[in-house]
Structure 1
Amino acid sequence: MENSEKKTVKYDKKTALFKAEHYCAYQERAQQEVRNKLYEWGLRPDEVEDNISELITTNYLNEERFAQAYVSGKFNIKKWGKIKIKQALKLKKVPEKMILKALNTIDYDDYLKAILVSAEKKSGLIKESDPYKRRNKLITYLMTKGFENNLIMEVLKDNDLY
């Protein structure tokens, strides 16, 4: 008989804090990710909030720093647009104010260039002879990457991809 259930390890408050410090030191984390992990380790709500406060005080946990790193990574590496990044950060329960501040760090020219590069790359892969359907597929693809519709149109028109 195989036990398919994952064993959950329970920690006391001090051990959980130590483990959470390592969890946060490994990579930037959102408060909600750490909160979920602490609950997973069997801590009570008051202990979880005490540990979260301690992690913030010792600067292991910094939501603003997390948002900056997340935006930077998703834009520079994954080439996501602002809409998709914003949605992902909202799912991680990052405050709106911090999301907007982090998104404003993306350079406008680099952003337009990312749209163009994605459009040119996808344009070469679309196997559609009807120009209307072709354009529609390209716009849909760029929107799924999280780019804004008005910027997509602007970039496509300026570069004769429309």
Structure 2
Amino acid sequence: MKSDCTPKEALQKLEHFCAYQERCHDEVVSKLYSLKMTSDEIDSIVVQLITDNFLNETRFACSFAQGKHRIKQWGKIRIVNELKARHITSTNINLALAGISAEEYIETFEKLTQKCWDGIHENNQLKKRKKFCDYILRRGYESNMVYEKVKELEAEAK
């Protein structure tokens, strides 16, 4: 299998790829495979990217967690699952979650749940409750928080 470019050209492409936005090792390796690099070339390029600080798994995990929480309003469960899918170590996952303050997490949860509850136009209370819980759980929030909140919102509605 002939490589699309030389290892030096691949390194330059990957430096740009990593400088554009934080990347995890899996994304970088996939990109290198798409450039038809050999396993040895991939290993040496990844080592070089880490040495030059273009590739940093801890930095990736932290920016990923904060971005997904602030922009997409994901809960911790969803963030953890997405990071695990990218083969991020549990140490880095814990560091990333520590970057989200408890106050910010609760505030985001409150805003999201209120907006969701107000947005569901369902006369059947059971169906409304199910739609609400499914949506918030899919966003990755802890079930005990979701069920406490739904009780609170139902009590306010009465």
After TM superposition, the score normalised by the length of structure 2 is: 0.90
- Which structure 2 residue ranges, 5 or more long, are not aligned? none
Q: Distance in 2 between matches of 1:149 and 1:108?
A: 17
> What are the equivalent positions in structure 2 for 1:68-87 lying under 5 Å apart?
68-87=62-81
Q: Are 1:42 and 2:36 counterparts?
A: yes
Instruction: Give the structure 2 partner of residue 56 of structure 1.
Output: 50
Residue in structure 1 matching 2:153, options 139, 156, 161? 161
Q: Which amino acid aligns with 2:81?
A: Q
Q: CA deviation at 1:24?
A: 0.6
Q: Are 1:18 and 2:12 counterparts?
A: yes
Q: Which amino acid aligns with 1:24?
A: C
Q: Distance in 2 between matches of 1:99 and 1:75?
A: 14
Instruction: Give the structure 2 partner of residue 88 of structure 1.
Output: 82
Q: Are 1:152 and 2:146 counterparts?
A: yes
Is the 1:35–1:48 contact (alpha carbons within 8 Å) kept by the matching residues of 2? yes
Residue in structure 1 matching 2:59, options 58, 62, 65? 65
Q: Are 1:28 and 2:22 counterparts?
A: yes
Q: RMSD of the TM alignment (CA)?
A: 1.6
Structure 1 residue runs of 4 or more that deviate by more than 6 Å after TM superposition: none
Q: Structure 1, residues 33-70: CA drift from partner, whole Å, max 9, x if none? A: 00111111111001101100010011010000001110
Select between 106-115 and 48-57 the one with higher mean Cα deviation.
106-115
Select between 46-55 and 122-131 the one with higher mean Cα deviation.
122-131
- Helix, strand or coil: the match of 1:93? coil
Is the 2:129–2:150 contact (alpha carbons within 8 Å) kept by the matching residues of 1? no
Q: Distance in 2 between matches of 1:83 and 1:46?
A: 36
Q: CA deviation at 1:9?
A: 7.4
Q: CA deviation at 1:109?
A: 1.9
- Which structure 1 residue ranges, 5 or more long, are not aligned? 1-7
Q: Are 1:125 and 2:119 counterparts?
A: yes
Percent identity of equivalent pairs: 38
Instruction: Give the structure 1 partner of residue 95 of structure 2.
Output: 101
Q: Which amino acid aligns with 2:153?
A: L
Instruction: Give the structure 1 partner of residue 106 of structure 2.
Output: 112
Give the structure with the higher percent helix.
2
After TM superposition, the score normalised by the length of structure 1 is: 0.88
Instruction: Give the structure 2 partner of residue 3 of structure 1.
Output: none
Is the 1:29–1:61 contact (alpha carbons within 8 Å) kept by the matching residues of 2? yes
Select between 141-150 and 89-98 the one with higher mean Cα deviation.
89-98
Is the 1:55–1:61 contact (alpha carbons within 8 Å) kept by the matching residues of 2? yes
